[in-house]
Amino acid sequence: MDSYHDETILIKTYNILRLLAEILLLILKIIYYICEDIYKLIVPPKKKSVAGEIVLITGAGSGIGKELAIGYASLGATVVCWDIDEKTNNQTMNDIKKMGRNSVYAYRCDVTDKEEVFKVAEKVKNEVGDVTILVNNAGIVFVKSFLNQTLDEIARVIDVNVTSHYWTLKAILPRMIEKNYGHVVAISSITGLASGPYGTVYGPSKFAVKAIMEAISEELRILSKGKSSIKFTTVYPTFVQTGFAESKIRFSWLGPLLPQKAAALIINAQRQNCENKSLPSIVLPGSKLMRLLPDKAFKCILDFIDISAYPEE
């Protein structure tokens, strides 16, 4: 009995010491990654080249999507433009060709139609090659109070802003996983960090983009046992002057951004392998700190910053 008792004590002691060692290691890792992030703020990571990459951009016919297409083309990438509006999409392609960049292709694609997404993705694979950078940029917004949103408007926002991500990822990601190479970029919004009035559908749709990207990147990390080389970047821009809605921002340094400026910052975030990037940069860490405050204090800060959009109605 004494031998059994002594052995039990040894096992318990060992387990406690092991747990303490794991906790210590965890603390050291946390400190290391905090220092790493601080270092990156002071010395930004070197931008990787995108020359020769095949970049597929949804919603490339106008706004940020068009500027992303132009930006990637100017850096030597092969650009594949997707948009439901064939006319504006072809215009983006032609504008890029006028720059002397001929490695650009335009395909009409309704990203909410899963059959069409898979069909056009297969066409891109056969005619251009395997997509190595997927930019899920397509988005739509109706700036209205919840009671004034029609059922069709609600469904349309969810289909374009959320569901389409699943279809493009299902169509493009398997080949990236097979080659263990690629990068997925998703355009969320600062309303995906903190929603406000007149964004009862748009805001949650952008929260969903954040959740999709976090879940898929974590799933790949676990399933590959940390060996996946596929990168994920989620970007949270402030209001951008795309013509969707008129915004009200108390402090001009918070926006609104011109599409060209937003696109340049998004491309930089992708080239630096940022997992999450807000535009401007202070918004993301600021929102994390604000979430530590009591809910009423958090709302007081939102009132002070006073960022909102004017409703359409």
Enzyme catalytic residues: 202
284 — phi, psi (to 5°)? -65, -55
Best CA proximity match to 313, nearest among 198, 156, 151, 144: 144
H/E/C letters for each residue in the chain?
CHHHHHHHHHHHHHHHHHHHHHHHHHHHHHHHHHHHHHHHHHCCCCCCCCCCCEEEEECCCCHHHHHHHHHHHHCCCEEEEEECCHHHHHHHHHHHHHCCCCCEEEEECCCCCHHHHHHHHHHHHHHCCCCCEEEECCCCCCCCCHHHCCHHHHHHHHHHHHHHHHHHHHHHHHHHHHHCCCEEEEECCHHHCCCCCCCCCHHHHHHHHHHHHHHHHHHHHHHCCCCCCCEEEEEEECCECCCCCCEEECCHHHCCECHHHHHHHHHHHHHCCCCEEEECCCHHHHHHHHCCCCHHHHHHHHHHHCEEECCCC
**55, 181, 190, 287, 305 from 254: Cα distances, Å:** 29, 35, 10, 13, 9
